[in-house]
Amino acid sequence: MSLFAPPAIYLVAALICCFLPRRGRAVLLLAVPVAGLVSIFSYAPGVHEVVQVLGFELSFVRMDGMARTFAVIFSIAAALAALYAFHVHDRLEQIGTLVYAGSAIGAVLAGDLITLFLWWEATALASVFLMWARRTTGAMATGMRYLIIQVLSGVLLLTGLLLHYYDTGSIAFDQLGVVSPGTAFIFVAFGIKCAFPLLHNWLADAYPAGTITGTVVLSIFTTKMAVYALARGYAGTEMLIWIGSVMALSATFLAVIQNDLRRTLSYSLIGQLGFMVVGVGIGSELALNGAMAHAFCSVLYQGLLFMCMGTVLYRTGTSKASELGGLARTMPITAACCLVGAASISAVPLFSGFVSKSLTLSAAAYDGHYFAWYALLIASIGVLCHTAIRIPYTVFFGEDSGKRPAEAPVHMRAAMIVTAALCVVIGVYPAPLYALLPFEVDYSSYTVAHLLTQLQMLAFAGLSYIWLMRRGLLTADKDVMFLDTDIVYRRWLPAALPAVSSSITAVWHAFQNLCLGALSFAYQRVEKVAAPGAILAQGWSVGTMMFVVIVVMAVLLFANLL
Amino acid sequence: MADMPTKPIDKLFKPVLIACGVLLLLDLVIDRHPKVPGEALPFFYAIIAMATFVGVIFACRWLHDVLQRPTDFYGADAVDAEEYPQDGLDRVDAAPASASRRQDS
């Protein structure tokens, strides 16, 4: 791998970061994504660099349309996150951020499964420091759970890679499909990082446990890297349409009930991933373009929303809905940026979500996947419930919490404003985004019919919210937490462990007693026949012994003939 | 900035209601080019938006009751129960800051 390859730039910078003073590190974190972006555009489209290692052809840089789309948005988001975190002086977090971003970019540029595995594991190891940098007991424990699940994904990927290599003799990372045990293992490995239903709980558990700036970084890379991997290896796999639909729907309900708004955003992120997974599952050029465009826009608006909630947490010490309200009085810029993020995620015309979400929905309609179309439509309305209307209203415009925090620091404001501006620019003028996508786009979001239908959904969802609120039918936010499937390994398994352990011990003791009883019985029998005067203790003649041996040999010979 | 009324949502009710009315009228005159079964029904998007929104909120009222637990359900030192570390925050009150700026000038 060349020192000028994008991931290498990040790794070298991480090394340099070990020796730089605080301000130098902050500047380096800002400069590296810019250098990475220059490096990405210095590669001609279609470049595929191959290196021979131990007889394997490893490809650290494969710069085609799909890889470039993700590498570009990862670089832009890394730069914005670095600007947002300009005040951070935690060396551990900064190095973790650089290695994490570099590894994620390395993964999307990987042309073979071995290289992908190396970067896959590196993202897991680096990203956990964004939680551990919080340095609390809770964050340490959450980080450990996160790490175990992420490493498990890597182990499954390695198992799948070995089985796939044994089957085909190939390590190429191209279309795989779920066609063998090896590719099935790889599919599940990708599914864990993509937060498939029932494999999703690590995300909602871990992201709210990150540092204020760390959560912004976490929201960018891992899941989108998994979407890329699915698009590369499993495009057109029909199972993904169902999985994505369930993701989009289930996340809606779990997001609405949360009190911690960073956790609401985490579930909201899973819902957005559902759109991308459906797009990958449909697998047509329009659908894949939709998945890519949605990933691109989602990194921006989801990052923006995490930034806004991070800023609120930074200034007030809480991101719980039950403790917030009326902050627009003193944080108008953060409130405005949050509104832009909300408008983008809910696909308001002239905002980024409007030009990306419709690609996937149209692809589902054109290809006859009506269940997925309805699921995504309902999820789009659900987004208004949990994120687009609820978060800005609750935090910035709703019932006054009495808190009067100052506006965000200058660098945080700058990061939020630039991200918000990108959301608007993409929404108003999507041509550059469409030009970046892997397939040619022959699609226009701005039709009269699309504008009308989208505005109708927004207006009637808004009317429903107002009606429900005036009637007092909305559930009041309380300082509680909500169960998810992580209860299985956080409560049920630890609670069941003593019972399981004592059951195993009891079975073992019973088995031991059984064996001892059998031995004792056999000993008594032997003692009986070998006692003085018993049959075995009598003197037998040589002739008798020879007769017995001949009979035994005759039986064996006869058995052998059979 | 002036204090907001107690229920700012009330101020939005009429404008949103009027917007909804206008959009329903437009629905009657604009061809939406339906592609999915059911989409051709009049006011399809308005109906599905309201039904979904209200349905999700009511389903979540039930989910809220079933799934809620105290913040220390997983222990007093779990992330849900702990305060965010003070050294990672910069809790600055807006009013004193603006007052000191006025004094400086």
What length is written for chain B?
A: 105
Chain B positions touching A365 (Cβ under 8 A) are 35-36
A195-201 CB contacts, 8 Å cutoff, 24+ apart: A195/A223, A195/A226, A195/A247, A195/A269, A195/A270, A195/A273, A196/A243, A196/A247, A196/A277, A197/A243, A197/A246, A197/A247, A197/A250, A198/A485, A200/A247, A200/A251, A200/A270, A200/A485, A201/A484, A201/A485, A201/A486
**Domain match, A416 and A452 both:** yes
**Domain match, A285 and A363 both:** yes
**Cα-based distances in Å from A27 to A36, A85, A91, A192, A428:** 14, 11, 13, 34, 31
Contact yes or no for A330 and B37 at CB 8 A: no
The predicted structure's pLDDT at residue A2: 65
The predicted structure's pLDDT at residue B3: 45
Q: Tokens 């890297």 sit at which residue?
A: A225
Q: Tokens 């980080």 sit at which residue?
A: A143
- Under the banding of pLDDT at 50, 70 and 90, the label for residue B6 is low
Amino acid at A429: Y
- Closest chain B CA to residue A212: B88
The predicted structure's pLDDT at residue A4: 67
pLDDT above 50: residue B44: yes
The predicted structure's pLDDT at residue A1: 59
Whole-number mean pLDDT of chain B? 84
Whole-number mean pLDDT of chain A? 94
**Domain match, A422 and A519 both:** no
pLDDT above 70: residue B61: yes
> Would you call A381 an interface residue with chain B, using a CB distance cutoff of 8 Å?
yes
Rounded Cα distance between A511 and A505, Å, is 10
Average pLDDT over residues A520-541: 83
pLDDT above 60: residue B4: no
Rounded Cα distance between B47 and B89, Å, is 45
Buried b (16+ CB within 10 A) or exposed e, A524-534: eeeeeeeeeee
The predicted structure's pLDDT at residue A528: 85
The SS3 call for residue A481 is: strand
Closest-CA distance, B103 to chain A, in angstroms, reads 17
Range of the domain at A263: 235-483
Which ipTM was obtained for this model? 0.86
Rounded Cα distance between B98 and A407, Å, is 11
How many other β-carbons are positioned within 10 Å of the β-carbon of residue A423?
25
Per DSSP, A387 falls in state I
Rounded Cα distance between A299 and A312, Å, is 20
Buried b (16+ CB within 10 A) or exposed e, A267-290: bbbbbbbbbbbbbbbbbbebbbbb
Q: Tens digit of pLDDT for each residue in A202-228? A: 999 999 999 999 999 999 999 999 999
Residue A218 makes CB contacts below 8 A (sequence gap 6+) with A127, A130, A131, A206, A207, A210
Contact yes or no for A317 and B89 at CB 8 A: yes
Q: Which of A461, A483, A505 is the last residue of a domain?
A: A483
Contact yes or no for B82 and A475 at CB 8 A: no
The predicted structure's pLDDT at residue B95: 67
Closest-CA distance, A22 to chain B, in angstroms, reads 16
Tokens standing for A156?
A: 């499954």
The predicted structure's pLDDT at residue A34: 96
Q: Tens digit of pLDDT for each residue in A229-255? A: 999 999 999 999 999 999 999 999 999
Neighbour-count burial of B3, counting CB atoms closer than 10 A to its CB (0-12 exposed, 13-18 middle, 19+ buried): exposed
**Cα-based distances in Å from A272 to A153, A295, A371:** 21, 8, 17
Interface test with B, best of A318, A457, A458 (most B CBs within 10 A): A457
> Would you call B97 an interface residue with chain A, using a CB distance cutoff of 8 Å?
yes
The SS3 call for residue B71 is: coil
Neighbour-count burial of A46, counting CB atoms closer than 10 A to its CB (0-12 exposed, 13-18 middle, 19+ buried): exposed
pLDDT above 90: residue A526: no
- Closest chain B CA to residue A320: B80
**Domain match, A512 and A466 both:** no
Chain A positions touching B68 (Cβ under 8 A) are 257, 478, 480-482
Question: Does A464 reside within a domain?
Answer: yes
Rounded Cα distance between A466 and A474, Å, is 10
The predicted structure's pLDDT at residue A188: 97
CB < 8 Å from A in window 52-71 of B: 52-54, 56-61, 63-64, 67-71
Percentage of residues of chain A with pLDDT beyond 70:
99
Question: Does B100 reside within a domain?
Answer: no
Enter the pTM of the model.
Answer: 0.90
Which of A374, A409, A469 is opposite residue B9, by nearest beta carbon? Answer: A469
> Would you call A489 an interface residue with chain B, using a CB distance cutoff of 8 Å?
no
**Domain match, A404 and A504 both:** no
- Parallel, antiparallel, or unpaired: how do β-strands A480-482 and A56-63 relate? unpaired
pLDDT above 70: residue B100: no
Chain A positions touching B37 (Cβ under 8 A) are 370
Rounded Cα distance between A74 and A82, Å, is 12
Contact yes or no for A209 and B46 at CB 8 A: no
Percentage of residues of chain B with pLDDT beyond 70:
82
The predicted structure's pLDDT at residue B104: 45
Q: Tens digit of pLDDT for each residue in A302-319? A: 999 999 999 999 999 999
- Under the banding of pLDDT at 50, 70 and 90, the label for residue B19 is very high
pLDDT above 60: residue A99: yes
Number of folded domains in chain B?
1
Average pLDDT over residues A390-411: 93
What length is written for chain A?
A: 562
Q: Tens digit of pLDDT for each residue in A405-433? A: 999 999 999 999 999 999 999 999 999 99
Question: Does B91 reside within a domain?
Answer: no
Q: Tens digit of pLDDT for each residue in A26-75? A: 999 999 999 999 999 999 888 888 888 888 889 999 999 999 999 999 99
Check the CA dihedral A154-A160-A161-A166 and report its sign.
positive
Residue A518 makes CB contacts below 8 A (sequence gap 6+) with none
**Domain match, A326 and A256 both:** yes
**Domain match, A401 and A518 both:** no
**Cα-based distances in Å from A102 to A95, A109, A191, A232:** 11, 11, 22, 19
Question: Does B2 reside within a domain?
Answer: no
CB < 8 Å from B in window 146-205 of A: none
Question: Does A139 reside within a domain?
Answer: no
> Would you call B28 an interface residue with chain A, using a CB distance cutoff of 8 Å?
no
> Would you call B10 an interface residue with chain A, using a CB distance cutoff of 8 Å?
yes
Closest-CA distance, A316 to chain B, in angstroms, reads 6
- Contact indicator for A142, B79 with CB cutoff of 8 Å: yes
Question: Does A110 reside within a domain?
Answer: no
Chain B positions touching A478 (Cβ under 8 A) are 68
Question: Does B4 reside within a domain?
Answer: no
**Domain match, A500 and A398 both:** no
The SS3 call for residue A540 is: coil
- Contact indicator for A396, A327 with CB cutoff of 8 Å: yes
The predicted structure's pLDDT at residue A534: 80
Terminal Cα-to-Cα distance of chain A (whole angstroms): 67
**Domain match, A347 and A422 both:** yes
Which of B37, B57, B83 is opposite residue A473, by nearest beta carbon? Answer: B57
Range of the domain at B52: 10-81
- Closest chain A CA to residue B44: A453
**Domain match, A385 and A519 both:** no
3-state helix, strand, coil in chain A (%, to 5): 75, 5, 25
Q: Tens digit of pLDDT for each residue in A104-141? A: 999 999 999 999 999 999 999 999 999 999 999 999 99
**Domain match, A294 and A363 both:** yes
Number of folded domains in chain A?
2
Q: Which among A476, A341, A465, A346 has a CA at the least distance from the CA of A415?
A: A341
Rounded Cα distance between A399 and A161, Å, is 54
The predicted structure's pLDDT at residue A403: 92
Question: Does B36 reside within a domain?
Answer: yes
Buried b (16+ CB within 10 A) or exposed e, A341-373: bbbbbbbbbbbbbbbbbbbbbbbbbebebeebb
Check the CA dihedral A511-A512-A513-A518 and report its sign.
positive
pLDDT above 60: residue B99: no
- Under the banding of pLDDT at 50, 70 and 90, the label for residue B103 is very low
Closest-CA distance, B104 to chain A, in angstroms, reads 18
**Domain match, A505 and A432 both:** no
Tokens standing for A505?
A: 């011990």
Q: Tens digit of pLDDT for each residue in A467-497? A: 998 888 888 888 999 999 999 999 999 999 9
The predicted structure's pLDDT at residue B10: 80
